[in-house]
Amino acid sequence: MLILSCSSKLRLLEGTLWRGLPDILLVSGTVITINWGKPAAQEVLVDSWPKFKVILTQMCRKVSLDDSDLYTNTYTVYYRDLGASRALLASACAVNWGQTFRILGLQDGVYEVCKDIAKAKGIKLEVLRYFTYFHPDPSSTPEIWLDPAMKLSSLDVSHADLLNETWVFGGNEKSRKYLANLICHFPSVCLLDAAWHPVSWITSYPFGAMGLFYTLPQHWQCGYMGMLNNLLIKRLHTLGYPSYGCVAVENYPMQRLQEKQGFQRQPNLWYVILHNPALGKVPMLTPRPAPGTAPA
């Protein structure tokens, strides 16, 4: 196992990964973020170099100090050889199975392998499956229309509480901190009303995907999300990211929106494999309270 820390190797890897889209989206997005230098807190592990059979990205161990932080302790995996992925994921040097974490992958084998390893270790995992959406040609998205009643902006750290109340995985202090970090370090877009309150927003993740799509219910179907989606695709494309994201299998409005805007649903599902021993205690994976009504 090798940690790729040399910038020339990481640049070379980025070029190689582009040729493997879309299976490799999550890993390539993370490598682009590292090469972009934003923030340099993630690392890339491979089984061998330059002919790798598996790639794993993770937060640097020295940054991820909180063993119970499901949000920061995020891995992304891509494999060409299932056996190699099994060996790397099982290695204590690669994955800290004692931590709370999430592993993201776009290949069925990632979940199969994690399930086997967890069973052998007597660990219980949760898995969430999403549709993966990829835009093959972000430069072709239409011109941006802006409602004159709204101001276009980026998210600000003062909006972290609102995002935390409305995010399906939010509602706790660790998620609030994670969201504040995303807002500070990664591209985001939002629309503000006349009182400068956000009404619709999207941010992006350290692995380059677009996410946290949200419009306050009183502003649904005014075209706001479509407009912001268009804008963020263009921004991420300019920064060199592939345009992609995930949508829950039951979320037809968002699926329709993505398809209307030229995103293509991929044959691969998007797996979020959670090891969260506190799942029963932490307020997550439960319906969120309406915005503004969460307990302080």
Ligand X SMILES: CC(C)(COP(=O)(O)OP(=O)(O)OC[C@H]1O[C@@H](n2cnc3c(N)ncnc32)[C@H](O)[C@@H]1OP(=O)(O)O)[C@@H](O)C(=O)NCCC(=O)NCCS
Enumerate binding residues for ligand X (CB under 6 A): 200, 213-215, 220-226, 247, 251, 253-254, 256-257, 260
CB nearer to ligand X: pick between 160 and 254: 254
Choose among 219, 244, 160, 227: nearest CA to 189.
227
Distance in Å, CB of 74 to ligand X, minimum = 18
The answer to whether 141 touches 233, Cβ cutoff 8 Å, is yes
| 144 SS3 class | coil
Nearer to ligand X, 79 or 270 (CB): 270
CB of 177 to ligand X, least distance (A): 21
Least CB distance from residue 147 to ligand X, whole Å? 10
Asked whether the beta carbons of 73 and 95 are under 8 A apart, the reply is no
Contact 17, 28 (CB under 8 A): yes
Q: How far is the CB of 231 from ligand X (least distance, A)?
A: 12
Identify which of residues 124 and 256 has a Cβ nearer to ligand X in the complex. 256
Smallest separation (angstroms) from ligand X to the CB of 77: 22
d(CA 8, CA 14): 10
Of 213 and 241, CB closest to ligand X: 213
Which residues, at least 6 apart from 252, have a Cβ–Cβ distance to it below 8 Å? none
| Residue 230 DSSP symbol | H
Nearer to ligand X, 16 or 255 (CB): 255
**Which one, 81 or 259, has the nearer CB to ligand X?**
259
Minimum CB distance to ligand X, residue 207 (Å): 15
Calpha distance 158→161 (Å, rounded): 7
Nearer to ligand X, 32 or 225 (CB): 225
How many C-beta atoms lie closer than 10 Å to residue 199's C-beta? 18
Beta carbon of residue 29, minimum distance to ligand X (angstroms, whole number)? 17
Strands (E), the chain: 2-4, 42-46, 54-59, 74-79, 101-105, 126-135, 151-153, 188-192, 198-204, 210-215, 243-248, 264-275
Picking from 218, 194, 240, 237, the residue whose alpha carbon sits closest to that of residue 17 is 240
**Residue closer to ligand X (CB basis): 171 or 226:** 226
Residues 6+ apart with CB under 8 A from 140: 262
- Give least dist CB 94 to ligand X, A: 30
Cα–Cα distance list, 68 to 79, 171, 173, 208 (Å): 27, 15, 12, 24
